[in-house]
Amino acid sequence: MRKNILAATVIGVLATLVGFIPIANATLITTGEVVVTTPNTGGGDFSFLIGALAVNGHHDEGPRFLPGYEGSLFDGSHRLTVGAIEFFYGAIGDQAVFWNTHLGVENPYATNWTIISPGVLLTQGQTVYQSSFDFQGGLCANFRYNTPCDVIFPSLTGQGIAEFFFNEAILDDGRSYFTPVRATYTFMPIPEPATLALFGVGLAGLALSRRRKHKSPLARAF
């Protein structure tokens, strides 16, 4: 019986660890953040860890966040997609790089990322909101502007907590009108409900095993 409980515990813990394995052929961003500091243009800063490389910089423009009235749903997603002839810059270590956002023969992997957030329901009197988000995309970089890619991250993934900040104004009709001030996407591993359930099963099995181990011989006899 004890062997069966131990086996169940091991299976539960292993299943939990499997839940943290990133998508095949994708590099998981485990820490860092993307901060949209100018919601009217979508421009902002980024800083995150890709493997052992610290990547950081600034992007000029992206989809802007639009104001909204109370009771409306604020779309918390943010995208940098191929199509605009733009670039944003940063650094790997102490070496400056340019992240390309346009396609070309010399750039087979262009920057194209999407931060998917369910968004929030705007409520009178509330100006700070939190939501989860998922990150998908890739980066194509070079060490000199408008040259072929020297550094390529074709597939990136990550998840975390998004935080949205607003200014609130009260209109003549009494309704609240919210203007976005900043959005911060902070990367951190977030276990899915199924993963948490498996982890709970593993912990329960471990607790039961320890409880039986500490029972007295007399108690085991009954």
pLDDT at 56: 83
Q: 150 burial class (0-12, 13-18, 19+ CB within 10 angstroms)?
A: middle
Rounded CA separation 101/162 (Å): 24
- Average pLDDT across the chain, whole number: 75
Compute the average pLDDT of residues 131-146. Answer: 85
- Strand pairing report for 43-50 and 112-116: unpaired
Mean per-residue pLDDT, 167-183: 95
| Residue 126, number of CB atoms within 10 A of its CB | 14
Q: pLDDT at position 169, please?
A: 97
pLDDT for 11: 42
What's the pLDDT at 118?
A: 92
Count of CB atoms within 10 A of residue 8's CB?
17
Name the nearest CA neighbour of 59 among 160, 128, 139.
Answer: 139
Confidence of residue 144 (pLDDT cuts 50, 70, 90): confident
- Where do we find the tokens 């968004």? 119
Residue 166, pLDDT > 90, answer: yes
197: confidence class by pLDDT, cuts 50, 70, 90: very low
Alpha helix ranges (H) inside the chain: 2-18, 193-213, 217-221
Tell me what pLDDT residue 13 has. 37
The reported pLDDT for the residue numbered 103 is: 53
The answer to whether the beta carbons of residues 99 and 90 sit under 8 Å apart is: yes
> What confidence score (pLDDT) does residue 107 get?
57
Q: Please check the confidence at residue 132 and state whether its pLDDT lies above 90.
A: yes
Closest CA to 157 of 29, 21, 12, 7: 29
**Which pLDDT does position 208 carry in this prediction?**
54
Q: How confident is the model at residue 130 (pLDDT cuts 50, 70, 90)?
A: very high
Strand extents, DSSP E, 73-205: 73-74, 78-80, 87-92, 95-100, 112-116, 120-121, 128-142, 151-170, 176-187
The answer to whether residue 94 scores a pLDDT higher than 90 is no
